[in-house]
Amino acid sequence: MTKKKINLTKKNILVSIHVIAFCAWFGATLSLILLSFYLKNAENGNQLIYTLSSMHIIDETLLKFPALATLITGILLSIWTQWGLVKYYWVVIKLVLTILIILLGIFFINDWFALLIKYANQLGIDALSSNEFKTSWLSIIVTGIFNLICMTVMTIVTYFKPFGKIKKNKKLEMNKS
């Protein structure tokens, strides 16, 4: 069975989409963290709700879609080029970190945002004094910083391609012959 490869033009288009999506995702994550810090400076309930609404828009548009585009284009680039999806450690590291960040968003950040918005709508500016609000707010900041660190690692790994090729199990190879 021959592997399907793509031509250079299509590969470059896919790489461009991948890099642009990743940059949008990185920028949105950074923006979310900055707005999270700004949130604590809200002077009234309307300002708090407005800041949370801005954060929610970033989460719903500039985080989710670029993250998904990054994952899909990364997988396509892996399987349609010489790198393969599980041939090299650096590709696997990027895949695992990408999926981890996306899962953190799905299973945790969405719930934390929902709680922040709920408390802000119910309590207004007094939400900033709520322990549940503070915990969710801090969780978003810590997770956002963790995500930025993971994205930075992914960028570094892309250029240095550490650890080389994944070695096949010799017993597995002997059984195939």
In this structure, is residue 14 part of a structural domain? Answer: yes
In this structure, is residue 96 part of a structural domain? Answer: yes
In this structure, is residue 75 part of a structural domain? Answer: yes
In this structure, is residue 172 part of a structural domain? Answer: yes
In this structure, is residue 36 part of a structural domain? Answer: yes
Structure token pair of residue 77: 């680039």
Stretch 12-27: mean pLDDT: 98
Q: Say how far apart CA 91 and CA 68 lie, in whole Å.
A: 17
Task: Calculate the CA dihedral of residues 127, 130, 132, 134 and round it to 10 degrees.
Answer: 80
Confidence class for position 168, pLDDT limits 50, 70, 90:
confident
According to the model, what pLDDT value does residue 171 have? 53
In this structure, is residue 3 part of a structural domain? Answer: no
Q: Give tens-digit pLDDT for 30-67.
A: 999 999 999 999 999 999 999 999 999 999 899 999 99
What is the value of pTM for the model shown? 0.89
Predicted confidence (pLDDT) at residue 1 exceeds the cutoff of 60: no
Q: Say how far apart CA 168 and CA 86 lie, in whole Å.
A: 11
* Domain span at 69: 8-176
Confidence class for position 5, pLDDT limits 50, 70, 90:
confident
According to the model, what pLDDT value does residue 46 have? 95
In this structure, is residue 25 part of a structural domain? Answer: yes
Domains identified in the chain, total number = 1
According to the model, what pLDDT value does residue 92 have? 97
In this structure, is residue 51 part of a structural domain? Answer: yes
Q: Give tens-digit pLDDT for 62-104.
A: 999 999 999 999 999 999 999 999 999 999 999 999 999 999 9
